[in-house]
Chains A and B, each alone.
Chain A
Amino acid sequence: MKKQTIITAIFSLFLIVGMSNHAEAQFGKKLKEGLKIGNKANKSGGKKGKKGGKGKDFSAFNSEADELGVSGHYVGLIDPSTSGLKFVKNRDGKLVNKLEYYMSNTETPDMELTLKESYYTKYEVKMFFNWRSASASGYAEIIEVAPGVMAVIKGDRSLNDADDPLPLDANRTVIEVAAKDKTSFDTWDIETAQAKVDMLIGTLKGAQSEKDKKKLMRFDVYKNYKGKIAFAKGTNYLRNQKSLQPTEKEANFITKRELGATVAFKPYFELPLEQSHPGAWFNITYEMAGETTDREQLRQSSTKFSKNIPQIDKDQEKFYFWYPKVTINTSNNVADYAFLELLRKTQDKLSAGNTYDLKVTVWAYKDGANIDPVATGTIQLEYTSGDNGTDKLLNDPVKGWITVLQDYLDE
C-alpha cells in the first residue's frame, strides 16, 4: 500500500513538472514573438501575403476606422513577415485605448498593448507598451516613427509599474521596424528609427524634466540651493532616500568648519547636465588662499592622481549628486585628492587662529576644458589651535592629511 502511494506520488510529481515546463516553454515563446513582428509567421513558413512578406494577410485592417491611423497590415524589415495592428479605443462601452497585435490569425490578437495616453494627448507621441512579465525581456513597446511606420523596441529595465511604460531614462533599443508600405524601408532602417525614437524620447524627457523641476521646487532645499552647493558635517546629512524628494534638512547645513575635519557637500543644479551640457561630465575645483586645484587637471598631471581621482561621469541626468562628495571624511579616512593637493599647496600660507574661505565649484567639463560652472559654494574653514587642532589633523607625522599625501607623492 505504502509502496503504491509513493509510486503514485512520484508519477504525479513528474506530471506536474512536465506540465509546468510545457506552460513555461509556451510563455517564453510568446515573449520572443512579442518582440519580433511576424516572427511566428516566418518560422511557420507562411505564404506570401497580398501586400508582400510572408504570413497572413491583414490588409482588411487597413480599412479600420481608427483615429490614430495605426491600424493596418504591416511587414517587418528584418523579419519580412506580416502582422496586423488594430487600434481599439472603446470596448464594452469603456475607453480602453489598446493596440491589438495580430500575427497568427486575424481573429484573436496575439498581444495587446496599451497606449500611453498622456504622451499622445500632450506631445502626439504614439507609444504602446505591454509587460508580459516583470523582467526586462518581458517588455514590448511600439512607437510610431512616421505615419504607417512602427519601431519595435526592447528595454533594459524590469517592471516597476505595470500601468506605465519603461521610464524615460531607460535605454530603448529599436530591434525591428514594421511598415504598412515596404517602400518605407528605403528611408526607415533600424538606425533611422532609433534616431527618431531618441528624438521623441528627448522631447518627452524635456517635458518630464520641467515637471520634475516643478516637483523639486516644492522642497525648500532645492528652491534655496539650485545652482549652489550645500555643506554638512557628514554625508548622512545630505542624503535622501527617494528620487526627486530632497528631504535633507537645511538646519544641518553648515557654513563654517574646522579645517581638517569632515566636510561633505552636495551640488544642486538648475538643470541636469545631460540637458544643459550634452556629452559633458562633471569636474570640481577647489580655491583657497589664492590657490586652485582642479580634479581633471590633476588627473592628467600624473598617474598617481589619475589613479586616485576618478572621473565624475554619473548623475548627468539628475538635478543633484545622488551621493554627496567630501573634501575630507575622517570617519572612513576618505578624501578628495584634489582637496588634499590644495592643502599641500597652501600649507605655508595657513596659520592657526585664522579662517579661510574655501570656494568649491562644480563644472560642466568636456574635451579637456571646464565649460561652465553648474554649482558653486563657499565654506569657511577655521585653522584651530591647540594640541588636537588643525595642525595635528593636517601635519601629524603619521596620519596628517598633508603628510599622507606628501608621502604618497614622494614614493
Chain B
Amino acid sequence: MKTKLFLFTFLILLGFYPVIGQESQNTVLSKFESGNYTVYKINGKKFEKVKKAWPVVITKSGENVSEILVKRAGILDESFKPDVPGYPAYFAFKTFRLSFIKDYAVYYEWNGKQEANTKYVLVKPGGSFGKKWEATNEEVASYAIATFKNQTNARANVKEAKAALAESDRIANSLQHKKVKSIALEIINTPKKIAHFSEAIDYGIIATLADGSQLKTSNLGGKMPWEDFKLSHTGVSNTIERVKVDENASSLKNDEVVFSVQSVYHPSLKASKSLATTNNVSIQVNQNGFAGWDRKKHMTVFQGKDGQHAGRADNLTVKVKSFKHKQTGATLNKIEVYNNTKNKIVSQYKLTPDTEFIVNAIGGYGMGGFDGDSSTADGGNGGNGGAGGNVTVIKDPNVKKVTLKINNQGGKGGKGGAPKYSSASAGRTGSTGENGTTTTQTKTLQLNF
C-alpha cells in the first residue's frame, strides 16, 4: 500500500514538474513583488553575496509583466523587457536576460548553443541562495528552452498582431476596395544609354483615385504596395522598382524596352511606357581557355613539381548582320557568337556600328612550376599555355561597319620553379600556346532575333 502511495505521489510530481518548469514569467512573477533584492554575483565559478541590495521594480500591464527595472547597485537603471509579451521566457536588457525561477531571478547571458552563463542571482528580499553556478546555468537554460516550446501560441499572437498592423497599413495604401480613376508609370531615372549591360532603370507607379487623391509606390514617396500590380515588362527584367535591360537581344524584338503594369484589383486599369534602346554599351565576350591552375576543375590531374598545362580556347563563329532600328531607323548590327566547340549560342546582341564588340578566345595561361625543395632540388617545369581559339567572322553583305576586335592569341607558359640550391636547376618555362586563326567571310545570313 505504502509503495503504491509513493509511486502515485511520484507520478503526480513527475507529471507536475514540467508544468511548473514551463510556466511563463507572467505566472512565475505573480509570486514576486518589487523590493530590494539580495544579490549574489559570480566570482570565478562561485557565488558571492554583494554588500548592497539592488532595487527591483516590477511593472505590470493587466495580467502581463511589461517591464522589470533593475537598479544595479542602486544606481544604474537597467530596463528589462519581455521577449514575448503574452508568454515571456525571459526579460531582455541589451544582451542580458533575466528569468525568475522559484524565489529568485537569474541574470544571465545566452549563446547560440542554447546555454546560459549566469552573472548574478537576485533573491527575494530577506532570502538567501546556496545553489552552485553550474546547476543554476542548467536550471535557467532548461527553463528557457522548455518555455520557448510553449511560446508557440504567444508568438503566433505577436505575429498575428504584427500581420494585422501590416495588413491595415496595406489596406490604407492599396487600391483594393477603392475607386480608382487611373494608374500611370513614372520612370525615375532615364539613363543616357539603354542597352545590354547599361545602368538600371528605376520606375514607380502613381494611382489617381476617384476623389483626385494619389497613391504612390515607395520609391515615389508613397506606400502603395507593389503587390497591387501585375508586371509584364519586355526587354527588361520583370522586377519591381528597378529593372535592367535583358542581356539577350531576342527579347528586344522592337528595339525598345516596355514597362507594362496592370492593377490586380481593377484589371481594366493598365499603364505602359516604352523607351527606345540606344544599343551603345561596349561588350566583351570571353571564351578563353582555362588556366593551368584550374585544370583540376576540368579533368583528373596528378600534381607533381611541374605546373599544369592550360586549356585551349574554344573555336567560335561570329555572325554579323545589319538592320534598321525599329524605333529610330538608325543602322544597327545583330551580332551572334556561336561556340563551335560546345555547340551552343553564346550570345546575341544588337549594337550600333560604332560600339566596340570584343571577342576573347585567348588560350589559358600555364601554371608555374614549383620551387625545388630538399627532396627534389630542381625547380618544376612551367605548364604550357593553351592555344588561342580559331574564330570565323561571317558578315552579311549588308554590313557596312562593325567595330569588332578579336583576341585569340595563345596563352603564356607558366614560369619554371626556382632551384633549392645554386647547384640545382631551375624549371623550364612552359611554351606559349599557338595563336588562333581568324577568318573573315562574307555570306548572306539569317539571324532571327
Contacts and interface: CB of A to CB of B under 8 A. Distances in A.
Given A187-B73, A192-B72, A255-B237, A278 B51 contact: no
Interface string B234-259: 00011110111011000000000000
A348 interface: no
Interface string A354-366: 0101000000001
Given A186-B51, A192-B73, A387 B92 contact: no
Interface string A253-273: 111100000000000000000
A327 to B, nearest CB: 16
A128 interface: no
Interface in A186-234: 186-189, 191-192, 195-196, 198-199, 202
Interface residues of A, number: 35
Interface residues of B, number: 38
Contacts of A369: 155
Interface string B70-92: 00111110100001000001001
Given A189-B50, A380-B237, A256 B246 contact: yes
Interface in A382-396: 386-388
A192 B89 CA distance: 25
B112 A387 contact: no
Contact of B94 (A188, A279, A281, A386): A279
Given A279-B92, A279-B95, A367 B83 contact: yes
B237 A256 contact: yes
Contacts of B266: none
A250 B247 CA distance: 16
B308 to A, nearest CB: 17
A188 B343 CA distance: 78
A18 B119 CA distance: 47
Contact of A187 (B75, B112, B239, B242): B75
B148 A187 contact: no
B110 A279 contact: yes
B31 interface: no
B344 A254 contact: no
A368 interface: yes
B76 A196 contact: yes
Contacts of A387: 343-344
B86 to A, nearest CB: 14
B128 to A, nearest CB: 20
A378 B112 contact: no
B342 interface: yes
A199 B76 CA distance: 9
Given A254-B244, A279-B94, A367 B89 contact: yes
Contacts of A199: 76
Contacts of B76: 192, 195-196, 199
Contacts of A357: 239
B377 interface: no
Contacts of A9: none
Interface in A230-261: 250-251, 253-256
B244 A256 contact: yes
A191 B41 CA distance: 9
B184 interface: no
B434 interface: no
A146 interface: yes
A355 B238 CA distance: 9
10 contacts: A189-B41, A189-B73, A192-B73, A198-B94, A199-B76, A251-B199, A256-B246, A357-B239, A380-B237, A387-B343
Interface of B: 41, 50-52, 72-76, 78, 83, 89, 92, 94-95, 97, 110, 112, 119-120, 148, 155, 197-200, 237-240, 242-244, 246-247, 342-344
Given A195-B72, A279-B92, A380-B237, 14 more contacts: A146-B75, A186-B52, A192-B75, A195-B78, A253-B244, A255-B239, A255-B242, A278-B92, A279-B95, A279-B110, A369-B155, A387-B343, A387-B344, A388-B342
